[in-house]
């Protein structure tokens, strides 16, 4: 059955490598204490959130970030009936970082997670976006006492592949599988994320 609450779009942004290069430059010299290195928030809420985040405008140039946002807005108009987005965040996940299950209400009708993770050079395990399956949310209607149930029957895990846009209904409980391995930002799970807003019919 085709999913109606998850969209995965590979090769979303033509300038993905340019964005990635700007992030890499941000951390190119770890001993250089420039002002832009002090904009990161280590967001920790016990048993819920553990990640390093900042506003995307603090990391990326206006040229490439505005192009990326324009692509998002056009995608929202074409596929979601939304003509705006919230200001994007950028987060990286190193060893120990995760998000426990939660629902984003009322930020917007659709959430997005855009990956700049160099997954082909993965230095860690975990980091997938985790969503409960609709069958889990309607558990008793789908229950069969003839079979055991394990994690993969209850959840969907989606790896953060480079230049992949993931869009999903944020009312679905979701999180991020704990990252284990690297402590280097340049080898971390790296994503830009936010929400689509202003849903209404769009006519061109």
Burial of 189 (0-12, 13-18, 19+ CB in 10 A): buried
Which pLDDT score, from 0 to 100, does residue 200 have? 65
pTM of the model: 0.93
Task: Between 202 and 83, name the one with better pLDDT.
Answer: 83
Find the length of the chain.
204
Convert the pLDDT of each residue in 94-122 to its tens digit.
999 999 999 998 888 999 999 999 976 67
Which pLDDT score, from 0 to 100, does residue 121 have? 65
* pLDDT, average across residues 153-160: 95
Q: Is the Cβ–Cβ distance between 60 and 21 less than 8 Å?
A: no
User: Where does the pLDDT of residue 163 fall: very low under 50, low under 70, confident under 90, or very high at 90 and above?
Assistant: very high
- Alpha carbons 81 and 77: distance in angstroms, whole number: 5
Which residues touch 192 (CB under 8 Å, ≥6 apart)? Answer: 19, 56, 68, 88, 89, 90, 113, 114, 116
* pLDDT, average across residues 20-40: 90
Which residues touch 162 (CB under 8 Å, ≥6 apart)? Answer: 16, 20, 115, 116, 117, 118, 119, 120
Residue 203 has pLDDT above 80, yes or no: no
- Kindly write down the DSSP assignment for every residue of 81-123, as one continuous string: SEEEEPPPEEEEE-TT-EEEEE---SS-SEEEEEE---GGG--
């Amino acid at each position: 059955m085709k999913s109606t609450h998850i969209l995965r779009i590979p090769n979303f942004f033509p300038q993905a490598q340019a964005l990635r290069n700007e992030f890499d430059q941000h951390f190119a010299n770890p001993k250089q204490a420039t002002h832009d290195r002090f904009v990161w928030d280590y967001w920790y809420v016990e048993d819920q959130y553990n990640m390093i985040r900042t506003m995307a405008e603090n990391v990326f140039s206006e040229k490439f970030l505005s192009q990326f946002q324009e692509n998002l807005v056009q995608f929202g108009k074409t596929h979601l009936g939304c003509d705006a987005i919230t200001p994007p965040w950028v987060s990286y996940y190193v060893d120990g970082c995760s998000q426990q299950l939660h629902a984003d209400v009322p930020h917007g009708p659709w959430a997005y997670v855009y990956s700049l993770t160099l997954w082909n050079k993965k230095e860690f395990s975990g980091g997938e976006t985790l969503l409960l399956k609709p069958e889990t949310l309607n558990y008793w209607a789908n229950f069969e006492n003839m079979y055991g149930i394990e994690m993969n029957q209850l959840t969907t895990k989606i790896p953060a592949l480079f230049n992949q846009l993931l869009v999903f209904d944020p009312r679905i409980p979701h999180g991020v599988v704990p990252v284990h391995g690297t402590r280097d930002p340049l080898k971390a799970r790296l994503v830009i994320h936010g929400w689509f807003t202003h849903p209404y019919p769009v006519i061109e």
